[in-house]
Amino acid sequence: MAGNMVVRSVITLKSGVFEKQTTEKQPINEAELDILEKTEYQNEEVFVGENKVIVYPNPTKGKLKIEVQNISDYSIVEVVVYSSSGKIIHKSYFSDFYEIVDLSANPRGVYFMQITIGNKKREWKIILE
């Protein structure tokens, strides 16, 4: 085979999924990989208003855990999960600090989750394996 070829590989590490692109003619071993960018996270912590929200694991095999910190006694958390075509596949409300969303009955793929607390919203891209 003449010339260079591009080998694109995705490796899974404990803390996430990383991508590597190289122009080597032969496959390289994992010890030689330089990480280009982290593309997915196991745990993601973000704020929705004043509430710290942790969503994990992502990617998920089906059960997605949602933790909300600093939630007040009167706050309601709305969780809506959409398919990639925009169809609502899950909708729930909770007022506790912890919720499990079961997506295991759905096909593998990319989903979008929106969490609303009061008038503040945040969206996540969820990978269902």
Q: What DSSP assignment string belongs to 27-84? A: ---GGG----EEEEESSEEEEETTEEEEEE-SSBSSEEEEEEES--TT--EEEEEEET
The pLDDT value recorded for residue 89 is 98
The answer to whether the beta carbons of residues 98 and 85 sit under 8 Å apart is no
Choice between 70 and 39, residue whose per-residue pLDDT is larger: 70
In whole angstroms, what is the distance from residue 106 CA to residue 104 CA? Answer: 5
Report whether 51 contacts 117 (CB < 8 A).
yes
CB-based contact 90:109 (threshold 8 Å): no
Is residue 68 located within the same domain as residue 21?
Answer: no
| Residue 2 domain flag | no
Residues comprising the chain, all counted:
129
Q: How far apart are CA 79 and CA 90, in angstroms?
A: 8
Question: Is residue 50 included in any domain, yes or no?
Answer: yes
Residues 91 and 32 in one domain: no
| pLDDT of 11 higher than 90 | no
Residue 34 belongs to some domain of the structure:
yes
Structurally, the chain folds into a number of domains equal to: 2
Examine residue 1 and state whether it is found in any structural domain, yes or no: no
Mean predicted lDDT score pLDDT of the chain: 78
What global pTM score does this model have? Answer: 0.66
73 and 101 part of one domain: yes
Task: Give the whole-number percent of the chain exceeding pLDDT 70.
Answer: 66
Q: Is it the case that residue 8 has pLDDT exceeding 70?
A: no
Range of the domain at 18: 7-39
Task: For 52-101, write each residue's pLDDT tens digit.
Answer: 999 999 999 999 999 999 888 788 999 999 999 999 999 999 998 999 99
Residues 59 and 106 grouped into a single domain: yes
Q: Could you tell me if 72 and 30 lie in one domain? A: no
Residue 98 and residue 59 share a domain:
yes
